Amino acid sequence: MERQTFYITTPIYYPNNKLHVGHTYTTVAADALARYHRLRGHDTWFLTGTDEHGLNVERAARQAGKEPLEYVDPIVQWIKELWATLEIQYDDFIRTTEERHKRTVQAIFQRLYDQGDIYKGVYRGLYCTNCEAYYTESELKEGRICPVHDRPVEWVEEESYFFRLSKYGPAILEHIRRNPEFVRPESRRNEVVRFIERGLEDLSVSRTSFRWGIPVPFDPDHVIYVWVDALSNYITALGYPDGELYRRFWPASVHLIGKDILRFHAIIWPALLLALGIPLPRSVYGHGWLLIGGGKMSKSRAGSQVIDPLTLVRKYGVDPVRYFLLREVPFGADGAYSEEALVRRINADLANDLGNLVWRTASMIERFAGGEIPAPVPGEDDGILKEKAAEVFDEVERALERLEIDQALQAAWELPRRVNKYIDEQAPWELRRQGREEKLRTVLYNAAEAIRLCGVLLSPFLVHTPGRIWDQLGFNPPEEQLWDDARRWGLLPPGLRVRKGEPLFPRLDLDEVLNGEAAKTPAQTGTPDSKPGAAPVEPAARGSATLPSAEIDLETFQRVDLRVARVTAAAALPGARRLLKLQLDVGGEERQVVAGIAEHYRPEDLVGRNVILVANLKPVKLRGEISQGMILAAAGPDGSLALLTTDSAAVPGSKVR
Ligand code: MSP
């Protein structure tokens, strides 16, 4: 059987500026795809690099009083460090200033000249130095402003070599018609087709107005146009024309780029390849932009903000930043960046759905199975999670084939969500109460095995979380774990000792992280001198049927911080007949509450259930134990007590209003 290969490239980056989070978007996405294909056992190559020539770099270097190479070297180093921080696993990093690149670009130029595809002429036109591209009047905004950079373009007139781009328009159109997946997403394909149909003009491919470029081999007064130089990196890095890597990986599976450079990749690049008789890449995917304040996040746009990816990673960690970039914006479309959206994603998806599930399951295995993954009992297995996991894996695979990375993550999240629901439905604490030990063991095994699979599902996207999840299960995956093997149900060996550690993702306080406020202490309300032994469940709640009591206004009510909390452990308090000591998960934050409910509830029946916590009640000590809040209950019939709980969908930590 023929071995599948996957060759993915990102654009090579300009090192005249530090990269912002918009730039990292392409590379993080490419890294996720490359990791996925490696996991599938495909022969994978992932290329990135830096695009170092051009007028902009020459000018910036001059301003800094440096030679261009001396100027870009530390920036390139910084870019490499950025990729290391984001755990980008590229296979090669090409700099356009390297000999292997320059030599081949010159050979390509020479060949195109020799065969008559490049000829000499004079160019007059409007040029954006930031895009390194000429524009026609109709493409510019009013006042001859570049539509990408919002800056005035310059009138340039120079002797130039031209590439016969016009000759290749019909062949490219034909190629796009026959290979609809060549330009993606579809909306962008239509844009490219319309552009070619309007008629292509020959392209100016050399410059005499600056020196910082690869010299035209037969006319050294000219340097090669930076886009011909840059685009060629995709094959020079493979050792075109006869390198082993070139034979192995070309044509590329996908060039992943932002939509602003789609025309270069979907028109100029294929035309150059057709002229050279080289097969075209299978796909060019132009993703959308991360927007900030309604515009593209961009250093050269006056007045706009940029977000430094390193600052974000330092503040939130690599996996949360990677997750946000990959999940938040539908891949292909534009999407607004905001730190608030990032924090919300961390809290909702990572802390609640995933982190809480792992923590909750490990707690139950500790409580109900002595801390060891129990062996499932075949006759008791409902197969629900096994079936769901298989469906989710299939869907993630389909989405990644279509490069719908956000959809893949959305599909992946169906698994932790289903496991949470499964636990609520199966209620292990009830199974224990009813003495259904075999079912209980099976349910706990299923939850743990599904959690192992969550780790597998996340492996293409997140770099530390899968290992941390497996670690909490006490599971040591094999060194070379391929996706198809790892996705099989039942690989988690019973008997492993769980290692419940810190919650995977602490829940973040939005105000605190955005405004940098110090952690707020809860409002100082409540009775400071509660007598030992008094139950935090208000006795007044029992059986009082007189309505209403004294009125309070909304503001007063809102000062009471009511939260959903999940009971993670419960124990009797020696010597206190009425009291139970509860450990609560309040959305990643752990609280201990001493509650006067021992006459009505057995500790083991409470674990895993949601309760309502008065979270800003001043902490008190009861029988030597700290009680950080109060849980709510109401009177039941015949002197019984009913704890207030929630519908299964409520999320620990969320406010009760
Ligand atoms: N050097 C050229 C590419 C040459 S490829 C043969 C270049 N470099 S760049 O540094 O300006 O941009 C690199 C990539 O970052 C591009 O794909 C661009 O679309 C992407 N992005 C830059 N800002 C972006 C956002 N705000 N959002 C998403 N992607 C963005 O172009």
pLDDT digits (tens, 9 = 90+) for 385-433: 999 999 999 999 999 999 999 999 999 999 999 999 999 999 999 999 9
Distance 498 CA to ligand 1 centre (A): 44
DSSP state of 418: H
Task: Give the per-residue pLDDT at 227.
Answer: 96
What average pLDDT does the chain have?
Answer: 89
Mutate to test the pocket of ligand 1, among 26, 234, 269, 297 (most ligand atoms within 8 A of CB): 26
Task: Give the per-residue pLDDT at 148.
Answer: 86
Phi and psi at residue 221, in whole multiples of 5°? -70, -20
* Selection from 19-28, 509-518, 551-560 with the highest mean pLDDT: 19-28
Specify the residue with its C-alpha closest to ligand 1, atom 21: 23
Task: Give the per-residue pLDDT at 252.
Answer: 98
Q: Please, what is the Cα angle at 519 between 513 and 524, to 5 degrees?
A: 140
Distance 39 CA to ligand 1 centre (A): 27
Q: Is 360 left (phi over 0), alpha (psi -120 to 50) or beta?
A: alpha
Residue 137 above 90 pLDDT?
no
Q: What is the pLDDT of residues 43-57, one digit of tens each?
A: 999 999 999 999 999
Residue 329 above 70 pLDDT?
yes
Q: Look up the CATH number of domain 555-643.
A: 2.40.50.140
Residue 347 above 50 pLDDT?
yes
Q: Give the ligand 1 atom nearest the CA of 230.
A: 6
Q: Give the ligand 1 atom nearest the CA of 296.
A: 26
Question: Mean pLDDT, to the nearest integer, of 603-608?
Answer: 87
Mutate to test the pocket of ligand 1, among 72, 94, 261 (most ligand atoms within 8 A of CB): 261
Distance 25 CA to ligand 1 centre (A): 9
Q: Is 483 helix (H, G, I), strand (E, B) or coil?
A: helix
Mutate to test the pocket of ligand 1, among 8, 18, 23 (most ligand atoms within 8 A of CB): 23
Question: Model confidence at 285, in pLDDT bands (50, 70, 90)?
Answer: very high
Specify the residue with its C-alpha closest to ligand 1, atom 14: 23
Specify the residue with its C-alpha closest to ligand 1, atom 19: 258
- End-to-end Cα, the chain, rounded Å: 61
C-alpha span between 465 and 512 (Å, rounded): 24
Task: Give the per-residue pLDDT at 298.
Answer: 64
Task: Give the per-residue pLDDT at 632.
Answer: 92
Question: Model confidence at 300, in pLDDT bands (50, 70, 90)?
Answer: low
Residue 49 pairs in a beta bridge with 94
Residue 170 above 60 pLDDT?
yes
* Selection from 123-137, 460-474, 630-644 with the highest mean pLDDT: 460-474
Which residue, 440, 429, 360, is CA-closest to 601? Answer: 429
Task: Give the per-residue pLDDT at 529.
Answer: 28
Q: Give the ligand 1 atom nearest the CA of 259.
A: 19
Question: Model confidence at 478, in pLDDT bands (50, 70, 90)?
Answer: confident
Residues in contact with 244: Cβ distance below 8 Å, sequence separation at least 6, in sequence order: none
Q: What is the pLDDT of residues 491-526, one digit of tens each?
A: 999 999 999 888 899 899 888 888 764 332 222 222
Distance 327 CA to ligand 1 centre (A): 19
Residue 255 above 90 pLDDT?
yes
Task: Give the per-residue pLDDT at 549.
Answer: 45
Task: Give the per-residue pLDDT at 16.
Answer: 75
C-alpha span between 82 and 79 (Å, rounded): 5
Residue 554 above 90 pLDDT?
no
Distance 42 CA to ligand 1 centre (A): 27
Q: Is 367 helix (H, G, I), strand (E, B) or coil?
A: helix
Residues in contact with 648: Cβ distance below 8 Å, sequence separation at least 6, in sequence order: 421, 424, 425, 610
Residue 634 pairs in a beta bridge with 642
Specify the residue with its C-alpha closest to ligand 1, atom 12: 13
Percent of the chain topping pLDDT 70: 91
Q: Give the ligand 1 atom nearest the CA of 231.
A: 6
Task: Give the per-residue pLDDT at 299.
Answer: 57
Flag the least confident range among 276-280, 310-314, 417-421, 492-496: 310-314
Distances (CA, A) of 535 to 577, 581, 595: 11, 11, 6
* Selection from 80-84, 304-308, 520-524, 638-642 with the highest mean pLDDT: 80-84
Greater confidence (96 vs 481) lies with 96
Distance 257 CA to ligand 1 centre (A): 7
Residue 283 above 60 pLDDT?
yes
Question: Model confidence at 635, in pLDDT bands (50, 70, 90)?
Answer: confident
Amino acid symbol at 474: G
Phi and psi at residue 341, in whole multiples of 5°? -60, -35
Q: Give the ligand 1 atom nearest the CA of 19.
A: 10
Distance 12 CA to ligand 1 centre (A): 8
Question: Model confidence at 2, in pLDDT bands (50, 70, 90)?
Answer: low
Question: Mean pLDDT, to the nearest integer, of 256-267?
Answer: 96
Residues known to be catalytic: 20, 23, 128, 131, 146, 149, 296, 299
- Class of the domain covering 336-541: mainly alpha
- Domain ranges in the chain? 5-307, 336-541, 555-643
Q: Give the ligand 1 atom nearest the CA of 51.
A: 1
Specify the residue with its C-alpha closest to ligand 1, atom 18: 258
Task: Give the per-residue pLDDT at 531.
Answer: 28
Which residues' Cβ are closer than 6 Å to ligand 1? Answer: 11-14, 22-23, 25-26, 51, 230-231, 233, 257-258, 260-261, 289-290, 296-298
Residue 107 above 90 pLDDT?
yes
Q: Give the ligand 1 atom nearest the CA of 256.
A: 17
C-alpha span between 435 and 365 (Å, rounded): 16
Mutate to test the pocket of ligand 1, among 10, 13, 56 (most ligand atoms within 8 A of CB): 13
Task: Give the per-residue pLDDT at 588.
Answer: 78
pTM above 0.75, yes or no: yes
Question: Mean pLDDT, to the nearest integer, of 612-630?
Answer: 87
C-alpha span between 234 and 247 (Å, rounded): 13
Question: Model confidence at 124, in pLDDT bands (50, 70, 90)?
Answer: confident
Specify the residue with its C-alpha closest to ligand 1, atom 5: 11
Specify the residue with its C-alpha closest to ligand 1, atom 23: 22
Q: What is the pLDDT of residues 179-203, one digit of tens each?
A: 999 999 998 999 999 999 999 999 9
Task: Give the per-residue pLDDT at 638.
Answer: 63
Distance 307 CA to ligand 1 centre (A): 15
Which residue, 346, 392, 463, is CA-closest to 34? Answer: 463
Regarding the domain with residue range 5-307, which homologous superfamily does it belong to in the CATH classification?
Answer: HUPs (3.40.50.620)
Phi and psi at residue 113, in whole multiples of 5°? -70, -45
- Alpha helix segments (H runs only) across 459-544: 465-472, 483-486, 510-515
